[in-house]
């Protein structure tokens, strides 16, 4: 029997970035800050980016969804980059850094905090929030980059599938 060299549907299960997105809502692993509303802005948007977390099933739907997945993954990638650059929302002594009066919730970091781990202790609460953010956003960058590649392959595969369908049908 003839086996098509390009199957119409590549059975790809997307790595849903949604799974790690959720962790962003629980800085330090507790729900306390979510309840208080002290969650950074990118973390709030992230769980809304579900485009990638989809398992593709049929050819037509796959053609649409692989594009959505690509969009979702791209959005996730951009947001993760911004989240990483901005640094976390945390409780810190603003007077100590000449950025306000007293202790408050804000984004204390400017450029290059990533490379200067001494500055990470600026955040008083949530405990370990800087490492938490850096790890999660880096993970999301990796996952969404992988997903963009997979979704692109899926789209490409869909196009090849169409061409092969042509050949077979002649
Ligand atoms: C915050 O920093 C200012 C300036 O260094 C200092 O005077 C103040 O005591 C600090 N507040 C707390 C609660 O650590």
Digit-by-digit pLDDT tens for the chain (170 residues) are 434 443 443 444 444 444 556 677 777 777 788 888 888 877 776 655 544 444 444 456 667 777 877 888 888 888 888 888 888 999 999 888 787 888 999 998 887 788 888 888 889 988 889 988 898 888 888 888 888 888 888 778 767 766 666 555 54
What total number of domains does the chain contain? Answer: 1
Token duo for residue 59: 């050819």
Measured from the CA of 102, which atom of ligand 1 is nearest?
1
What H or E segment, with its residue span, contains residue 12?
none
Kindly report the pTM of this predicted structure.
Answer: 0.68
C-beta 95 within 6 A of ligand 1: yes
- Which has the closest alpha carbon to 16: 43, 55, 44? 55
* Best probe residue, ligand 1, of 91, 94, 96, 102 (max atoms within 8 Å of C-beta): 96
Length of the chain in terms of residues written? 170
Atom of ligand 1 nearest to the CA of 93: 1
Q: Is residue 116, in this structure, part of any structural domain at all? A: no
124 CB within 6 A, ligand 1: no
Closest residue by Cα to residue 20 from 80, 103, 88: 80
114 domain-assigned: no
CA distances from 139 to 36, 95, 122 (A): 26, 33, 23
Task: Give the domain range for residue 33.
Answer: 6-88+128-165
- Residues 161 and 59 sit within 8 Å (Cβ to Cβ): yes
In a domain, 17, yes or no: yes
């Amino acid at each position: 029997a003839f086996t098509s060299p390009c199957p119409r549907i590549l059975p790809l299960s997307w790595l849903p970035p949604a799974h790690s997105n959720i962790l962003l809502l629980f800085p330090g692993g507790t729900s306390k800050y979510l309840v208080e509303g002290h969650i950074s802005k990118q973390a709030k948007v992230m769980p809304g980016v579900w485009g990638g977390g989809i398992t593709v099933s049929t050819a037509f739907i796959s053609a649409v969804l692989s594009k959505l997945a690509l969009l979702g993954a791209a959005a996730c990638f951009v947001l993760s980059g911004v989240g990483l650059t901005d640094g976390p929302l945390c409780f810190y002594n603003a007077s100590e850094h000449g950025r306000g009066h007293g202790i408050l919730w804000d984004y204390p970091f400017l450029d290059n905090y990533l490379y200067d781990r001494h500055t990470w202790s600026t955040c008083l609460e949530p405990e370990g929030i800087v490492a938490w953010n850096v790890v999660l956003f880096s993970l999301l960058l990796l996952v969404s980059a992988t997903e963009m590649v997979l979704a692109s392959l899926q789209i490409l595969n869909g196009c090849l599938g169409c061409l092969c369908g042509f050949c077979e049908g002649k």
